[in-house]
Chains A and B, each alone.
Chain A
Amino acid sequence: MNKKQRQMLIRIIISAVMMVALAFIPVQGIMRFGLYLVVYLIIGYDILRKAVGGIIRGQVFDECFLMATATVGAMALAIYERSGDYTEAIAVMLFYQIGELFQSYAVGKSRKNITELMDIRPDYANIERDGKLERVDPDDVAVGSVIVVQPGEKVPLDGVVIEGDSSLNTSALTGESLPRSIQEGDEIISGSINMTGVLKVRTTREFGESTVSKILDLVENASSRKSRSEDFISRFARVYTPAVCIGALLLALLPPVVNTVLGNAAGWEVWIYRALTFLVISCPCALVISIPLSFFAGIGGASNAGVLVKGSNYLETLSKTKVVVFDKTGTLTKGTFEVNGIHHSAIENERIIEYAALAESSSSHPIARSLQREYGKALDRSRVSEVHEISGGGVIAKVDGRTVACGNDKLMRSIGVEPIPCHSVGTIIHVAVDGSYVGHIVISDVLKPHSAEAMKELRKAGIQKIAMLTGDAKRVADDVAESLGIDVVYSELLPSDKVDKVEELLQSKPAKAALAFVGDGINDAPVLSRADIGIAMGALGSDAAIEAADVVLMDDDPLKIAKAIRISRKCLRIVYENIVFAIGVKAICLLLGALGIANMWLAIFADVGVMVIAVLNAIRTLFVKNL
């Protein structure tokens, strides 16, 4: 509790005690009024001050003004009716303040909870100077400096381990509780916790550019992108307060005037009292607070589970997802290809691998990497020249002065070579040297262990259609799709075709359903941004993915997609519950107030009670562990 809140608590306690005490003190007349006025001022002076300030600045629909008008009006009625019942006005003020205090406490508390959940910000970095460790601000460490990370400390900056080995706990980043072992030469990511050994790390990024800053920045800014529900509620609040105030005015004037015209007793007190009840209910804060709080807690809970959602709006769209489109490589499969066979070779197998590895030596594509791994020796790039990458085909390059083409059958045909088809399932790299076919290499990818389970979870989460896009051969794609139970497969696509296919799928889906595209963030940025929701996985350390996607999975487990959808559904369910509940209760109270069934006590209870319940309900979104 901060100072402001403590002061308010003291004021609430004093005035509550005084109010109870005054109930037993039999003073009458002006003395009674004076005593109650003191209590009223203790609890409400700041509201009155702000209300007057509001009037001067022309802010009539300020809630302080509304509260002040309602309570001053109630006091005036009590004097006019000589009832001496001032408790109502004070109670309204008292409960209003209790509600405000609760709200500010709850919001502060959940803000703190969520920042603690995302407690990955390192406080210092150790730099060795003259044999002693010195603690410095991570912001002051230049790229290329050597830092020391001791067991139990957070890794403050991204870098490469130059000495020592240890295991790393990345659970705050990925939600993955299994520690990762690292040794000399490995890349290390800021925000993870060093568990066992002392590490010396050469930093590769400054603090502002490091993973931890990027993630914190993303999470903290996420709630700035507002959802449609938030916009709806703030628009509603803008109309609601003036509307209720006008209603109150009409309620105070119309019935008494009509009564007078009809010759009945005007009943001014009755109708003015009912109008004042309206003013108490007109305060929109309960409505407005619970929505951003729910989204904030939902985003916080999700990031704790290793799912970064870039904005409340994306959480909202994610909850409407009915169609999920996967990129195959690196998403459903591990993306680490292995050479599984070499067929129809016209020259020695080693030569074929050597030519292919060299021709692909400038590529970072997973297939090229697997060829390079299979070759096993250092690549002498000076042997390679005139490299032409043919998008969706392969590569043609000069190796040792001979023209080597390696790629799929389309590439072969385009250079006038007839490839020999292969019977094994996998990616087939045909190789031609100087225009004659020398054989093909079979490379296959392995499914991720959780892929099949992830598909089942998605179905359970209500996903109606799962599609897969890949640049791979039809046979490979069909094989993967069948073993995972995927509905639609589009294979042999060029990168640009993927956008077209997503476009097609977007058109064929029902209007209210959202389409999510899941990729690894490499080469699929246009598709990620074209889909209703772009989900990038395995993003730890990949800036491109974090940049392009709307939802970022920190590790590469496809199970997290279903989890992300469940988190978003829970969050949105709570948001709708709160909207319906708060507006519903207010509407009922307005009706009861107009009919004279609800008095001011009920009105203020409804107002504060609704807010407390809505806020507590909103905080529920934070708990996503068991989803």
Chain B
Amino acid sequence: MKKTYGIEVDCANCANKMESAAQKTAGVKSCSVNFMMQRMTVEFEDGADRSSVMENVRHNCKRVESDCEIFI
């Protein structure tokens, strides 16, 4: 199950950091952040609860880059 979310992030390196933070979140199979389009594509593990996983993704991303935002 893949889903794309809009994000807001100012610098390319921060986008990379968000990507690796999201990848480490439980329930996320893979994640790709597209800095130029300001988008995050998340592939969920089977049976993962998307909204709670995304809450954790947002939390983890904010930990590495406090200024970022994910529009869930």
Asked if A pairs with B, the answer is yes
Q: Give the contacting residue for A59; candidates B20, B34, B37, B64; CB below 8 A.
A: B64
Known: A59-B63, A104-B10. A296 touches B36 (CB 8 A): yes
C-alpha spacing A113/B46, complex, angstroms = 39
- Asked if residues B39 and A224 are in contact (CB atoms below 8 Å), the reply is yes
Total contacting residues, chain A, CB less than 8 A: 28
Residue contact A63 to B13, C-beta cutoff 8 Å:
yes
Binary CB contact string for chain B from 27 to 65 against chain A (1 if under 8 A, 0 otherwise): 000001011110101000000000000000000000111
Which chain A residue lies CB-closest to B64?
A59
B interface footprint on A217-259 (CB within 8 Å = 1, 0 otherwise): 0001101111000000010011000000000000000000000
The answer to whether A234 touches B16 (Cβ under 8 A) is: yes
**At the interface, yes or no: A534 with Cβ under 8 Å from chain B?**
no
- Known contacts A50-B67, A59-B63, A292-B35; is-contact A285 B41 (Cβ 8 Å): no
A-B CB contacts (within 8 Å), total count: 63
Instruction: Give Cα A107 to B4, complex, Å.
Output: 21
Expressed in whole angstroms, the Cα–Cα distance for A285 and B67 within the complex equals: 16
Q: How far is the CB of A46 from chain B (nearest CB, A)?
A: 9
The answer to whether B10 and A224 touch across the interface, beta carbons within 8 angstroms, is no
**Proximity string of chain A (292-310) to chain B, C-beta cutoff 8 Å, 1 when within and 0 when not:** 1100100000000000000
Least Cβ distance of B37 to chain A in Å? Answer: 6
Q: What is the bound-complex CA distance between A292 and B16, given in angstroms?
A: 11
Query: Which listed residue, B16, B19, B36, B64, touches A293 by the CB 8 Å rule?
Result: B36
Contacts of A237 in B (CB 8 A): 13, 16
Check B66 against A53 for contact (C-beta < 8 Å). yes
With A57-B63, A103-B11 known to touch, is A224 a contact of B16 (CB < 8 Å)? no
Q: Identify the closest chain A residue to B20 (Cβ).
A: A238
Interface residues of A in 79-120 (CB under 8 A from B): 100, 103-104, 107, 111
* Set B13, B37, B64, B65: member contacting A285, Cβ < 8 A: B13
Residues of B contacting A234 in the complex (Cβ-Cβ under 8 angstroms): 16, 19
A100 to B36, CA, bound (A): 15
Which residues on the A side are within 8 Å of B63 (C-beta)? 57, 59
User: Which residues on A sit within 8 Å (CB–CB) of B20?
Assistant: 238
Interface presence of B12 (CB below 8 A)? yes
List the interface of chain A (C-beta within 8 A of B): 50, 53-54, 57, 59, 62-63, 100, 103-104, 107, 111, 220-221, 223-226, 234, 237-238, 284-285, 288-289, 292-293, 296
Known: A107-B36, A285-B11, A293-B36. 7 other contacts (CB 8 A): A59-B64, A63-B11, A220-B39, A221-B34, A223-B34, A234-B19, A292-B36
Query: Which 5 pairs, one residue from A and one from B, show the smallest C-beta to C-beta distance?
Result: A296-B36, A289-B12, A288-B12, A288-B13, A224-B34
